[in-house]
């Protein structure tokens, strides 16, 4: 009977370890605490003219096809998957940090996992820009013609639009920072790999 012990494996680079800290701590804390504080009651305070429950709900669903906190939570989980798969594989094979940089096959697999993170972050950035834009406006013009024939366009008030704009900008900034860290990590891996080959 073979027993496999899974020991926690840190990223093989300094930038990778900083990325894990930044991604795991700051970004998740920001989303978990401030995200739900800013967006938590948005649907309750979203009101249209005339202020009727069914109209408010209809226009809010049009305004927010997906709530921002759900989108960002899915983004965080999705971006974590490539790294988690690699680290699970490395833990099962008892691969340590130095082996990742010393053995070409492990180095290539690790770089692929970082490239996948970059691709997923770029896709998330593009989706976020199309779903939420770069600024939250105080008024939203809702097309309610499918709900009632008496009026086509109705004005809706977006609560705390300035706070949401700031938070939106922060989430874009986090995405850009993690992208830069991933690119820098690839350069660090290549430089350390080159240094390892030079010393041999």
Tell me, rounded to whole angstroms, the distance of Cα 142 from its chain centroid.
28
User: How far apart (Å, rounded) are the C-alpha atoms in residues 65 and 63?
Assistant: 6
Per-residue burial over 6-22, b if 16 or more Cβ lie within 10 Å, else e, is eeebebbbebbeebbee
Spatial contact of 153 and 139, defined as CB atoms under 8 Å apart: no
- pLDDT of the chain along its 200 residues, tens only? 333 344 445 666 777 777 777 776 777 787 777 777 777 778 888 888 887 888 888 888 888 888 888 888 888 889 888 888 888 888 887 877 777 777 888 888 889 999 999 999 999 999 999 988 889 898 888 888 777 666 678 888 888 888 889 988 988 988 898 899 889 888 888 887 776 656 65
Instruction: Please give the pLDDT value at position 4.
Output: 39
CA max distance for the chain: 80
Phi, psi of 80 (to 5 degrees): -75, -20
User: Which tokens is 87 given?
Assistant: 């680290």
Q: Where are the beta strands (DSSP E) in the chain?
A: 47-48, 139-143, 153-157
Output the CA torsion sign for 156, 160, 162, 163: negative
Instruction: Please give the pLDDT value at position 124.
Output: 92
Phi, psi of 53 (to 5 degrees): -55, -50
Instruction: Please give the pLDDT value at position 122.
Output: 94
Q: What angle do CA 126, 132, 136 make, to 5 degrees?
A: 140
Beta-carbon contacts of residue 155 (< 8 Å; ≥ 6 apart):
48, 49, 139, 140, 141, 142
* Inter-CA distances, 54 with 43, 142, 154, 155, Å: 12, 13, 13, 14
Q: Which fold has domain 14-199?
A: de novo design (two linked rop proteins) (1.20.1440)
Tell if the pTM clears 0.75, that is, is over it: yes
Give the residue extent of every domain in the chain.
14-199
Output the CA torsion sign for 44, 50, 54, 60: negative
User: How far apart (Å, rounded) are the C-alpha atoms in residues 79 and 20?
Assistant: 12
């Amino acid at each position: 009977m073979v027993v496999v012990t899974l020991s926690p494996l840190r990223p093989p680079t300094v930038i990778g370890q900083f990325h894990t800290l930044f991604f795991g701590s700051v970004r998740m804390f920001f989303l978990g605490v401030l995200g739900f504080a800013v967006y938590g009651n948005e649907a309750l305070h979203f009101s249209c003219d005339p202020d009727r429950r069914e109209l408010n709900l209809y226009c809010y669903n049009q305004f927010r096809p997906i709530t921002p906190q759900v989108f960002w939570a899915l983004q965080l989980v999705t971006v974590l998957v490539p790294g988690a798969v690699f680290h699970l594989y490395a833990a099962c094979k008892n691969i340590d940090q130095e082996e990742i940089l010393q053995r070409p096959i492990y180095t290539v697999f690790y770089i692929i996992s970082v490239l996948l993170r970059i691709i997923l972050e770029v896709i998330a950035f593009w989706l976020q820009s199309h779903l939420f834009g770069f600024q939250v406006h105080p008024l939203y013009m809702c097309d309610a013609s499918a709900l009632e024939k008496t009026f086509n366009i109705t004005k809706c008030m977006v609560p705390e639009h300035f706070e949401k704009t700031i938070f939106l900008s922060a989430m874009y900034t986090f995405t850009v920072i993690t992208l830069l860290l991933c690119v820098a990590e690839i350069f660090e891996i290549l430089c350390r790999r080159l240094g390892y080959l030079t010393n041999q």
